Structure 1
Amino acid sequence: MSVQVGEALILPRSDRSHITEWRRSVDWSILLAGCVLLGLGLVLSLAAGPPAAERMGQADEFHFVKRHAFFAAAAVIILFGASLLDRTWVRRLSALVFCGSFVLLAAILIVGHEAKGAQRWIELGGFTLQPSEFVKPALIILSGWLLAQRQLYPGGPWAVVALVFYVVTLGLLLLQPDVGQSALLTAAFIVTFFVSGLPWRWAAMFFGGGVGLSATLYALLPHVRFRVNSFINPSEYDTYQIDKASQAIGRGGIFGAGPGEGAVKTELPDAHTDFIYAVLSEEFGYVAALALIGLFVFICWRGFRGASRVRDPYPRAAAAGLFALFGLQAAINIGVNVNLLPPKGMTLPFISYGGSSMLGIALTLGLALALIRRQTSTTWRPDGRA
């Protein structure tokens, strides 16, 4: 039996059940911070959802609010469920998710749903699914495991195999095209590679390849060229969305205009998705905006610290890559909102509306928590099993 002392629940050492071990070993501060973000997303969906529903001709003004709540509830289940896994099952689940997402990425090119000039979604049972949101964490975990095999079997082509998986996945993303997700995946993959012991020749190869690919995309894709040029020379291009977002952030001041008093949610078509940070800043002010950034920084700091304490190479590298994936997506979204980065349609983790994004991020954070749990680092066998 457990013993109640004050308000704390003391678990007996004789209780070795999986749930009890999870409760002892999971990083509760990251888990709770993630739930706080989901709660804030629900609050902001009440502000930005009704105007979006009216703008899109939905009969129910709470259409997006209800869907956001549904996906948030599913995200909580995925977040907690994924964090329960041991590292062997993290790898197995990632392999299944990667295979399924990879097939869907290929299918999108043939039967995908097109929106805003890109073919990134596939329709399943009345919902649109974006496979790229799930292929990213799966690829990072598989890459971390493959790269860890170099220390066990130095003669194997592990780094080359990981690179092939990455390049093929990147190619499918660019064919959609989805440059933003490609850049995010690349950054997280490099972090995973670096933590695994990136040789200098690989670093030089990544740098040269990144420069060459960026120049090629700039030359071939008009929307990429427009976004870069409009960021460098805003006076010569239509920067309506960024201008409105910047004005909204400025109007918010220190404490904001007040809940429901913001204007940007009625002015921007993507206020409930890409520009939700501007909605938050306008209605709740700089204090709330900085507090939100603080939550993301806290999760990443705790995550990287937890990963650094893991002795085993596979979970250490994979967890670092997953937390980089989570943190960089938040940084990109906020950077666009405050006009520090070129425009890019990317959601703010757990805050923006978007089912695939919310579920994919929940999977990312849940698997990262599973990898840094204490029992995943206490024992390690050459076959990679806990």
Structure 2
Amino acid sequence: MTEMVYGAVPVVRGGEPILPKWWRTVDRWAMSCVLMLFGVGLLLGLAASVPLAAKNGFEPFHYVQRQAFFGGLAIVAMMLTSMMSPVLVRRLAVLGFLAAFVALALLPFFGTDFGKGAVRWYSLGFASIQPSEFLKPGFMVVAAWMMAASMEINGPPGRTWSFALCIAIVLMLAMQPDFGQACLVLFGWGVIYFVAGAPMVLLVGMAGLVIIAGTVAYAHSEHFARRIDGFLSVEVDPTTQLGYATNAIREGGLFGVGVGEGQVKWSLPDAHTDFIIAVAAEEYGLVLVLCIIALYTVVVVRSLLRLVRERDPFIRLAGTGLACMFGVQAMINMGVAVRLLPAKGMTLPFVSYGGSSVIASGIAVGMLLAFTRSRPQGQLSDILGRNRAR
């Protein structure tokens, strides 16, 4: 009777456990595609890294074991990051970005080039660290945070701040020189700015500035000019990396020459990193290449479709930047191998060998999965539904 008069006392229940909630809300299709990409990377590493191990006097599968170790760390980082709330992801991204930015600024003084002509790494003896790989996802989140803040009433000039920060990063990367990463950072910032409502005139103006900067770099950087000349040349030197890669892709055909039967891995010094797709095309053919492209496409498209329904500007901007950067990096790597783009020295996420690359990719995808988790109260459709109900 008391409950009938005064109403029942609400029962306070504990929140849903983290793991079941994470599994229910995370994009399992995108996560599965990433895990399959990592598996493909190990499969290709069994072939591509053997010549390098023999050259350096290691066991045949030395680099495959290292890739499996770094990949395991990347998967753990991806899972843990994807369980975080967007606010926690933002806080950790800001701290990570600051650390990577300082490390990038100190590269000219303490970095090394490992004989490749570009000072991009810190040598730790047992391993090396490439700060730019960790800076990219952090910068996407920081830039999105600044632009989202500028949308608020009396908000800070976040767009101006993020642009100044972007230019500083691009200049430091160009000084290494690392024009590929510089273009990727600039592209990611441009995507976020476009989604945030940038006028087309400004974006066209920025494209013009990029062309001017490229012209200046071509005139004053032998490294940059050599790669552009190689790309524009009608004839491909068969003794160059592009020549070996082109021939391998041609020899692979539709189904490849057979597992372990490829020869390009013995000629290409970067067969396990920048030109891993050439190894895939030669040994497994166009079929595997199309499967790899499909896996990247699923991750990017599903992420963007989920972000379209998100009403939080920060989540929408940060997720879009991370998704587009992930897809474009893969596109650049494969585009270089088939001579659609100049050589960039950029890895294929989760497939190419490299500790910094795979761990940073794991963190970036973990952030993306955290931003694209289902949040029913945070979608535009819920607001429209409430407005109709009124």
Alpha-carbon contact 2:237-2:243 (below 8 Å) kept:
no
Aligned-pair identity (%): 39
Q: What is the CA distance between 1:377 and its match in structure 2?
A: 6.3
Q: What is the CA distance between 1:379 and its match in structure 2?
A: 8.3
1:169 corresponds in structure 2 to 169
2:180 corresponds in structure 1 to 180
1:144 corresponds in structure 2 to 144
Pair 155,28 (structure 1): closer, same or farther in 2 beyond 3 Å: closer
Structure 1 regions of 5+ residues with no counterpart?
1-12, 381-386
Q: What is the CA distance between 1:14 and its match in structure 2?
A: 7.5
CA distance in 2, matches of 1:376, 1:41: 35
CA distance in 1, matches of 2:86, 2:289: 35
Q: What is the CA distance between 1:248 and its match in structure 2?
A: 0.8
Q: What is the CA distance between 1:202 and its match in structure 2?
A: 2.9
Aligned-partner residue type, residue 21 of structure 2: E
Task: Give the 3-state SS of the residue equivalent to 1:118 in structure 2.
Answer: coil
Pair 70,155 (structure 1): closer, same or farther in 2 beyond 3 Å: closer
Task: Give the 3-state SS of the residue equivalent to 1:280 in structure 2.
Answer: helix
1:369 corresponds in structure 2 to 369
1:228 corresponds in structure 2 to 228
Alpha-carbon contact 2:236-2:243 (below 8 Å) kept:
no
Q: What is the CA distance between 1:340 and its match in structure 2?
A: 1.0
CA distance in 2, matches of 1:101, 1:120: 12
CA distance in 1, matches of 2:122, 2:26: 35
Q: How does 1:205-354 map to 2 (within 5 A)?
A: 205-235=205-235, 240-354=240-354
Task: Give the 3-state SS of the residue equivalent to 1:120 in structure 2.
Answer: coil
Task: Give the 3-state SS of the residue equivalent to 2:311 in structure 1.
Answer: coil
2:7 corresponds in structure 1 to none
Cα RMSD over matched residues? Answer: 1.9
CA distance in 2, matches of 1:377, 1:273: 42
Task: Give the 3-state SS of the residue equivalent to 2:121 in structure 1.
Answer: strand
User: C-alpha deviations, 1:252-276, integer Å up to 9, x for none?
Assistant: 1111111101010111111111111
Q: How does 1:150-161 map to 2 (within 5 A)?
A: 150-154=150-154, 156-161=156-161
Aligned-partner residue type, residue 90 of structure 2: R
Of residues 205-214 and 103-112 in structure 1, the stretch that sits farther from structure 2 once superposed is 205-214
User: C-alpha deviations, 1:309-366, integer Å up to 9, x for none?
Assistant: 1111111011011011100110001001111111121111111101101111111111
Q: Does 1:47 align with 2:47?
A: yes
Alpha-carbon contact 1:249-1:282 (below 8 Å) kept:
yes
Aligned-partner residue type, residue 70 of structure 1: F
1:111 corresponds in structure 2 to 110
Alpha-carbon contact 2:309-2:379 (below 8 Å) kept:
no
User: C-alpha deviations, 1:46-75, integer Å up to 9, x for none?
Assistant: 1111111112x2232222111111111111
Give the TM-score of the pair, scaled to structure 1: 0.91
Q: What is the CA distance between 1:157 and its match in structure 2?
A: 1.2
1:7 corresponds in structure 2 to none
Aligned-partner residue type, residue 250 of structure 2: G
Alpha-carbon contact 1:312-1:377 (below 8 Å) kept:
no
User: C-alpha deviations, 1:93-134, integer Å up to 9, x for none?
Assistant: 110111110111111110101231010001236211000001
Q: How many residues align?
A: 367
Alpha-carbon contact 1:230-1:238 (below 8 Å) kept:
no
Alpha-carbon contact 1:370-1:376 (below 8 Å) kept:
no
CA distance in 2, matches of 1:338, 1:61: 28
Structure 2 regions of 5+ residues with no counterpart?
1-12, 381-390
Aligned-partner residue type, residue 65 of structure 2: K
Alpha-carbon contact 1:46-1:65 (below 8 Å) kept:
yes
CA distance in 2, matches of 1:51, 1:32: 30
Aligned-partner residue type, residue 170 of structure 1: V
Alpha-carbon contact 2:105-2:172 (below 8 Å) kept:
yes
Q: Does 1:96 align with 2:95?
A: yes
Aligned-partner residue type, residue 224 of structure 2: V
User: C-alpha deviations, 1:216-260, integer Å up to 9, x for none?
Assistant: 111111111111112112438676211211111111111111110
Q: Name segments (4+ residues, structure 1) moved above 4 Å.
A: 236-239
Give the TM-score of the pair, scaled to structure 2: 0.90
CA distance in 2, matches of 1:249, 1:133: 28
Alpha-carbon contact 2:310-2:379 (below 8 Å) kept:
no
Higher Rg of the two aligned structures: 2
Pair 239,233 (structure 1): closer, same or farther in 2 beyond 3 Å: farther
CA distance in 1, matches of 2:377, 2:101: 30
